[in-house]
């Protein structure tokens, strides 16, 4: 779902108009080997992810936890960033509802 205006302007802190019963993802930009997403979550968690891309994560608002398959958990606070390597199994195990989490995620393939 895109939220860009006709001018292409997006406010990273703008929230979707629908109730946040599901995680909201918007692709802000994409090109050769890279994708930039804004994700808004409010209490949602994910299943295990195992992606081929490197993921740069920045939590712009809220608090969250990323759990790795090896049992390590990383707590993220507003402004924290994290690099998730390709094939590093992980999941979002916690997100705050007030305020909702606003994520800026950049997915890329190394060497591209």
Do residues 77 and 32 touch, judged by C-beta distance below 8 A?
A: no
What token pair was written down for 81?
């960033």
Write out pLDDT tens, residues 81-108. Answer: 999 999 999 999 999 999 999 999 999 9
For the domain spanning 24-108, the CATH number is: 2.60.120.10
How far apart, in whole angstroms, are the C-alpha atoms of residue 40 and residue 56?
Answer: 16
Write out pLDDT tens, residues 13-52. Answer: 877 766 677 888 899 999 999 999 999 999 999 999 999 9
| Average pLDDT of the chain, as a whole number | 89
DSSP letters along 11-43, please?
-TT---SS--SS-EEEEEEEETTEEEEEEEESS
The model's pTM: 0.84
The residue extents of the domains of the chain are 24-108
């Amino acid at each position: 779902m895109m939220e860009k205006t006709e001018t292409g302007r997006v406010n990273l802190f703008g929230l979707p108009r629908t109730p946040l019963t599901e995680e909201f993802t918007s692709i802000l930009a994409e090109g050769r080997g890279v994708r930039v997403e804004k994700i808004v979550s409010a209490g949602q968690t994910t299943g295990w992810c195992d992606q081929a891309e490197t993921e740069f994560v920045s939590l712009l608002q809220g608090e969250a936890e990323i759990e790795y398959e090896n049992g390590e958990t990383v707590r993220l606070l507003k402004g924290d960033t994290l690099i998730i390597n390709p094939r590093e199994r992980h999941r979002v195990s916690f997100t705050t509802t007030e305020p909702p989490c606003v994520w800026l995620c950049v997915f890329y393939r190394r060497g591209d």
